[in-house]
Amino acid sequence: MNIMVVDDEQDITLLFKQKFRREIRKNKVKFSFVFSAEDALNSLEKQENHLILILADINMPGMNGLELLKIIKDNYPEIKVFMITAYGDDYNYQTAIQYGADDYLTKPIQFEHLKEKISELI
């Protein structure tokens, strides 16, 4: 399963590779990492691998994750999008649901819970 992680914090790369090391080794998941919503859209336009899931942070400089979510759902409705945020406020949650988010997770990420959600998509 191909998964794109969109987060402006670059240390997220190491964290995901560490938490999913077994799944990566067994070729159950393959991650790509981009560090802005704009980079995510550029990657989607050039997409050669079949992307199943995008994990997108909400608070990023430039285009935020909610704006990205709306564009993805308008142009790539088959891709699942899980929104991730450090702020579990009602406005962001309601907006994410309205824009078509498939799930809404708060930081710190509960990786066992995330793994269960990902396995449901496989």
User: Vertex 116, ends 115 and 120: CA angle to 5°?
Assistant: 115
Q: pLDDT tens for residues 30-61?
A: 999 999 999 999 999 987 668 999 999 999 99
d(CA 115, CA 111): 6
The per-residue pLDDT string of the chain (122 residues; one tens digit each, 9 = 90 and over) reads: 999 999 999 999 999 999 999 999 999 999 999 999 999 999 999 876 689 999 999 999 999 999 999 999 999 999 999 999 998 899 999 999 999 999 999 999 999 999 999 999 87
* pLDDT in the model for residue 61: 96
- Whether residue 77 is preceded by a cis peptide bond, meaning omega within 30 degrees of 0, is no
Give the domain extent around 48. Answer: 2-121
CATH of the domain at 81: 3.40.50.2300
Q: How many helices (H) and strands (E) does the chain have?
A: 6, 5
Contact partners, residue 51, CB within 8 Å, separation at least 6: 2, 3, 4, 44, 76, 79
pTM of the prediction?
0.95
Radius of gyration of the chain (CA): 13
Note the pLDDT of residue 47: 77
H-only helix segments in 20-85: 21-25, 37-45, 65-75
Count up the domains in the chain and report the number. 1
